[in-house]
Chain A
Amino acid sequence: MSVALQLGIVVGYLVIALLVGLVAYRVAERTAEDFYLASRTFGTVVLLFTTFATLLSAFTFFAGPNIAYAEGPEWVLVMGLMDGIIFAILWYVIGYKQWLLGQRFDYVTLGEMLGDRFASRRLRGLVAGISLLYLFPYVMLQQVGAGTALEALTEGSLPYAVGAGLITAFMILYVVIAGMRGIAWTDTLQGIFMLVTTWLALIWVLAVVGGPVAATSALEAEAAHHLALGSDFYTHQWMLSTAITIGFGVAMFPQVNQRFFAAGSKTVLKRSFALWPILCVLLFVPSFLLGAWARGLDVTVPEGGNVLPAVLAEFTPVWFAALVIAGAMAAMMSSSDSMLLSGSSYFTRDLYRPFLEQDVSERREDLLARIGVVVFATGAFLASLWNPATLFELGDAAFSGFAQLALPVIVALYWRRTTRAGMTAGILASQLFYLGNLFVGSIVGAIEFFGPILGDLAPLLVLLVTGVLRGTYMGWTAGIVGMGLGLLVTVGVSWLTSPAPDERRMIYFERLEAD
């Protein structure tokens, strides 16, 4: 009963999404700008919810409550700071400026915006390349998640490869048809749906267990230390590092960053900006509290399983639990939709066009964009079958990896003396530092492999590598240290070098006004 119901709800959602996509296709113009950015026309509600749904879906429902269950509800604070405050401020600092520049120069991607200012095709390619390096495995992780969830839901009758394959095929069909406009419309429906069901779930569970006071005293009996702020897990440094790196990382995630270009007007940006902290609290507090309270409520969470489904199964009727779980799975897919679209735009506009085929008509670019979606999604699906550990690590590290881009970009946006050399050096240095930290084991392995050739140098190199790349620095993560390094190198090298003659140094500072 439950399986058929859940599958029915998932399929029902997909059908609705496809219908919305078809409507969007009918109103769309056949240009790349329309496909990627809905011709920069989004209103407040759509922009707010599409950014929100793109960003937070799967984590809010699964990983977040799991952490609150295991370690206490402090995650709410970290999420609130990172998404409600830091990201909102960046919404203005990066987003509004990007939007103005996009209005004036028709930029569609971040790489395009930087490449134009610094007159550098290579810089443009570098930014796109780095973004794809993290985005591709991140999309793969979503496919792995959705495929595994389908396999679990059907109790194995739909094997992973088939489930993930079906989902990939659906996503390709959907994204190719719907484009940004359709995706944003379904995101909006879905965001509102998520908000309502999460609150219903909280109220339902609390009604059954006798209110928040009863739930908390049960938690106190089971794990009293979860109620006190802070723990060995939630240290000052860790909470700050996480909030800052993810908050900045979010702003550089292609599918989020690109939405900065898509707003319809200045008023839309203003309203979304002010509503952002409230929206974050409205969603995080109930979902994470449910996870935290579950600890005291005798809920049996299966090994490696998720807390929220277990809580719902225990306290709410089957149809309701199915609705929420199906919604969460759909949410996972909708994040992937947006990422596919952005991945395709980074690939076609910043890598394919500048380096392989410079003169393309609007119609042809629109076609290329759709082909890009097919290539990107199929590639990620094939990679998920092979499931290499390296890609897994990269996907997991995506937020911090993207965060490395943020400070050089802010410096470029606000400091006229930033030079092409400074920008390139800052981006490269922070990425190398961060990736080095991520793969320090492999680096040491490589040095040892070449030990016979390197001779006495080998142990010294190992000492140097492990000395510099330590993973954490007095409790601070490599992600945040890398951000600092990127900032220093960007400013330092810009200071020491003079701009190349063809750089357009003033375009970020002249005649920037909204109509």
Chain B
Amino acid sequence: MRRLEVWGWLVVGVVLSALAIPWFLWGDAMTVVGVPLWLWWHVGWMGLASVVFWLFAQRAWGIGIETTGDSRGDRS
């Protein structure tokens, strides 16, 4: 279970990194209120990342690192 959780968070981390730059808007020059749409995406995404990091800190902090009792989640 703990191990599955590690993998889950790993995927979340990769997705957060992968879409911080909106590759799907490549070449797009649309602007909203004078700021490129791709920059708005980035700003929103960083806000989302912050919320996800906060959630992680609340619920899963220590996963993969702390060795509590019998859980062996720290093997990667």
Cβ-based interface call for A77 (8 A):
yes
Interface residues of A in 406-458 (CB under 8 A from B): 414-416
Interface size on B, residues (CB 8 A): 39
CA distance A28 to B74 in the complex (A): 37
A residues near B23, Cβ cutoff 8 Å: 236
Taking a contact as CB atoms under 8 Å apart, the answer to whether B28 and A266 are in contact is no
Contact of A89 with B57 at beta-carbon distance under 8 Å, contacts A77-B38, A81-B20, A229-B25 already known: no
Taking a contact as CB atoms under 8 Å apart, the answer to whether B67 and A270 are in contact is no
Nearest CB of B to A116, in Å: 18
Contact of A510 with B76 at beta-carbon distance under 8 Å, contacts A80-B20, A214-B34, A274-B53 already known: no
Taking a contact as CB atoms under 8 Å apart, the answer to whether B46 and A80 are in contact is yes
Cβ-based interface call for A227 (8 A):
yes
Taking a contact as CB atoms under 8 Å apart, the answer to whether B20 and A271 are in contact is no
Cβ-based interface call for A511 (8 A):
yes
CA distance A511 to B66 in the complex (A): 8
CA distance A289 to B17 in the complex (A): 22
Contact of A76 with B39 at beta-carbon distance under 8 Å, contacts A239-B21, A271-B57, A512-B67 already known: yes
Contact of A274 with B57 at beta-carbon distance under 8 Å, contacts A77-B21, A85-B49, A224-B29 already known: yes
Taking a contact as CB atoms under 8 Å apart, the answer to whether B26 and A509 are in contact is no
Cβ-based interface call for A160 (8 A):
no
Q: Which of B38, B61, B68 contacts A266 (CB 8 A)?
A: B61
Complex interface bits, B1-35 against A, C-beta within 8 A gives 1, otherwise 0:
00000000000010011001111011111010111
- In the complex, what residue of chain A is closest to B55 when comparing beta carbons? A274
Of A107-115, A276-284, A300-308, A374-382, which stretch is located at the interface? A276-284
Interface residues of A in 264-293 (CB under 8 A from B): 266, 270-271, 273-278, 280-281, 285, 289
B residues near A224, Cβ cutoff 8 Å: 29
CA distance A414 to B23 in the complex (A): 31
B residues near A243, Cβ cutoff 8 Å: 21
Taking a contact as CB atoms under 8 Å apart, the answer to whether B36 and A278 are in contact is no
B residues near A343, Cβ cutoff 8 Å: none
Taking a contact as CB atoms under 8 Å apart, the answer to whether A278 and B46 are in contact is yes
Cβ-based interface call for A84 (8 A):
yes
Complex interface bits, B39-68 against A, C-beta within 8 A gives 1, otherwise 0:
100110011011001101100011011111
CB contacts between A and B, total, < 8 Å: 123
Q: Which of B36, B66, B76 contacts A414 (CB 8 A)?
A: B76
Taking a contact as CB atoms under 8 Å apart, the answer to whether A513 and B50 are in contact is no
Q: Which of A97, A214, A228, A277 contacts B49 (CB 8 A)?
A: A277
The residue among B29, B34, B56 with the most chain A CB atoms within 10 A of its own CB is B34
Contact of A514 with B62 at beta-carbon distance under 8 Å, contacts A88-B53, A281-B43, A415-B76 already known: yes
Nearest CB of A to B47, in Å: 7
Q: Which of B20, B29, B67, B76 contacts A77 (CB 8 A)?
A: B20
The residue among A92, A213, A239, A509 with the most chain B CB atoms within 10 A of its own CB is A92
CA distance A72 to B56 in the complex (A): 34
Taking a contact as CB atoms under 8 Å apart, the answer to whether A228 and B34 are in contact is no
Nearest CB of A to B18, in Å: 9
- In the complex, what residue of chain B is closest to A78 when comparing beta carbons? B21
B residues near A278, Cβ cutoff 8 Å: 46-47, 50
B residues near A216, Cβ cutoff 8 Å: 31, 34-35
A residues near B42, Cβ cutoff 8 Å: 76-77, 80, 281
A residues near B21, Cβ cutoff 8 Å: 77-78, 81, 239, 243
Nearest CB of A to B55, in Å: 9
Taking a contact as CB atoms under 8 Å apart, the answer to whether B31 and A511 are in contact is no
- In the complex, what residue of chain B is closest to A275 when comparing beta carbons? B50
The residue among B27, B50, B62 with the most chain A CB atoms within 10 A of its own CB is B50
Taking a contact as CB atoms under 8 Å apart, the answer to whether A510 and B35 are in contact is no
A residues near B56, Cβ cutoff 8 Å: 92, 273
Cβ-based interface call for A395 (8 A):
no
B residues near A280, Cβ cutoff 8 Å: 46
B residues near A32, Cβ cutoff 8 Å: none
Contact of A228 with B29 at beta-carbon distance under 8 Å, contacts A81-B17, A270-B57 already known: yes
10 contacts between A and B (CB under 8 A): A80-B42, A84-B20, A89-B17, A214-B34, A229-B26, A276-B50, A281-B47, A414-B74, A514-B62, A514-B66
Closest 8 CB pairs of A and B: A212-B34, A270-B57, A228-B29, A274-B54, A213-B34, A216-B34, A81-B20, A277-B46
Residues of B near any A CB (own CB < 8 A): 13, 16-17, 20-23, 25-29, 31, 33-36, 38-39, 42-43, 46-47, 49-50, 53-54, 56-57, 61-62, 64-68, 74-76
